[in-house]
A = this chain, B = another copy of it.
């Protein structure tokens, strides 16, 4: 069992920062879940800095403890978890970077270890989905985000944090009929943008509508949309209002509180998630680590879903 050291022996602020104070190793024997970083911010369309997202989330995650009293589930000590380190990235070269991230994630997928990626701008999800689809086929997706990331080209180029899910649809690695996006808000380029998700076969719930749903209703909606079969859960921290997540690259005001965000997340039981990520944590814009701390708790809730699924 891979788990954090006993926090009653030394304060949680001691020792090199690994995620949740977990062992840092690439040995996958007897491992159920692995946290890994994707330090890349080359594809963001506004503020950079997310290459330090994994470091910041590791730092804040020192505050986590092993048991989830809301989900009533033991996480650390029940789900054998490691810090798998960071994918190598290549500043300035997005295609090469995605190739290396995919290769980095491959062993986890092959061994059936549930990966939880920490970004990094959202473009990294393409690499994760490619790795997962090689084993699982086209995936269902639940995406909590303020943007659909379904734009086509940015500056005539295909890879961007704003185009990642369109690329994934085109590559056939996600199944649009099993995709649910929720939380979208903020101005768009034009009225036709509203129709893009539907045109691609994706279901999109804007924040103005999601705000009317209870967590339980959202959980139902997600289970109904994703159905049976392997799926991916992607949490972009800009889903949450910038008061709670200032440390991100393309914030959109008027969003959910962190309490609401955790509620929606906790409702996502009963879906066969084979991979997770938390992206767009940009520490240079964070305040008192609050974004990183929320991201660390999102990872913890994802691990709680793993633990609940294993019960």
Residues of chain B with a CB closer than 8 A to A77's CB: 190
Interface segment, A60-68, A107-115, A271-279? A60-68
Chain A 21-64, CB within 8 Å of chain B: the 1/0 string? 00010000000000001010111111111011011001100111
Going nearest first, the 5 A-B pairs with the smallest beta carbon separation are A92-B94, A246-B288, A284-B284, A10-B88, A14-B86
A85:B15 contact, CB within 8 angstroms: yes
Among B190, B244, B284, B300, contact of A66 (Cβ-Cβ < 8 Å): B190
Is A253's CB within 8 Å of the partner chain B? yes
With both beta carbons as reference points, the residue of chain B lying nearest to A283 in the complex is identified as B284
Q: Which residue of B lies closest to A241 (CB)?
A: B258
Residues of B within 8 A of A143 (CB): none
Contact across chains for A155 and B58 when beta carbons are under 8 A apart: no
> A135-153: which residues lie under 8 A (CB-CB) from chain B?
153
Tell me whether chain A's interface is mostly helix, strand or loop, or mixed. loop
Q: Are B241 and A259 in contact, CB atoms less than 8 angstroms apart?
A: yes
Closest Cβ of chain B to A140, distance in Å, is: 25
Contact of A257 with B241 in the complex, beta carbons under 8 Å: yes
Residues of A within 8 A of B (CB): 7-19, 24, 37, 39, 41-49, 51-52, 54-55, 58-59, 62-70, 72, 74-75, 77, 83, 85-94, 96, 123, 153-157, 159-160, 185-191, 193-194, 206, 208, 211, 241-244, 246-247, 250-251, 253-259, 261-262, 284-290, 293-294, 297, 300
For A58, list chain B residues within 8 Å (CB): 16-17
Residues of B within 8 A of A256 (CB): 259
List 18 A-B residue pairs with CB atoms under 8 Å apart, sorted by A's residue number.
Answer: A11-B88, A13-B47, A14-B87, A14-B88, A16-B58, A66-B190, A70-B185, A88-B155, A90-B154, A96-B157, A243-B258, A246-B287, A253-B258, A253-B297, A254-B257, A257-B257, A284-B284, A285-B289
CA distance A13 to B253 in the complex (A): 18
- Find out whether the CB atom of A83 lies under 8 angstroms from the CB atom of B16: yes
With a CB–CB cut-off of 8 A, which chain B residues contact A154? 8, 11, 90-91
Indicate if the CB atoms of A91 and B160 lie closer than 8 Å: yes
Contacts of A72 in B (CB 8 A): 191
A289 CB to nearest B CB, Å: 8
Residues of chain B contacted by A297 (CB below 8 angstroms): 186-187, 253-254
Knowing A13-B46, A16-B83, A17-B16, the reply to whether A68 touches B187 (Cβ < 8 A) is yes
